[in-house]
Amino acid sequence: MAAAEASEKSKGSPLIMMIIGLVILTALGAGGGWFLGHMVAPQIKTATAAVQAAPQAPTGEKQAAAAAGANGIVQLEPITTNLAYPSQNWIRLEIALMFKDKPDQQLAEAIHEDILAYVRTVSLQQVEGPRGFQYLRDDIQERVDLRSEGRVSKVMFRTFVIE
């Protein structure tokens, strides 16, 4: 009987030691997290207060639009349409126009519609490879020149995706 009790104590002992070890490690982790949190929290509060006290400057799209408008650049709405052949393929273009003088939003909308109508007539074989892309750029630049009567100096491709 004494041997059975001794073996039970030895079996229970590692389990108890593991539980005690986990409790100690959990307490150390919680204490370390609390300590680091109190060291970092004042820096975060100071940075937040500084950001809130600073004057609000235009950010993101507003800032880009303001800078583009000042430079005579108009970002057109993305053009997404299917190709003429094969019709299951789609094309997406994001184009910006650089005006020589003051940007004209109505002219930009007319150019957008003209580019959309042209892209619908293009086949996949016409735009394959770097040479096909260059031909597409040249064709769009020519259409923009005709529509704008020389008021647009440059057509800038931001994205070109065929799916």
pLDDT tens by residue, 43-102: 666 766 666 665 655 555 555 555 555 678 899 999 999 999 888 999 999 999 999 888
At 83 the three-state DSSP class reads coil
> Is this structure's pTM higher than 0.85?
no
Cα distances (Å, whole numbers) of residue 137 to 21, 58, 71, 158 = 69, 33, 22, 12
- Residue 85 contacts residue 124 (beta carbons within 8 Å): yes
Residues 6+ apart with CB under 8 A from 85: 123, 124, 125
Q: Does domain 61-162 have CATH number 2.60.120.460?
A: no
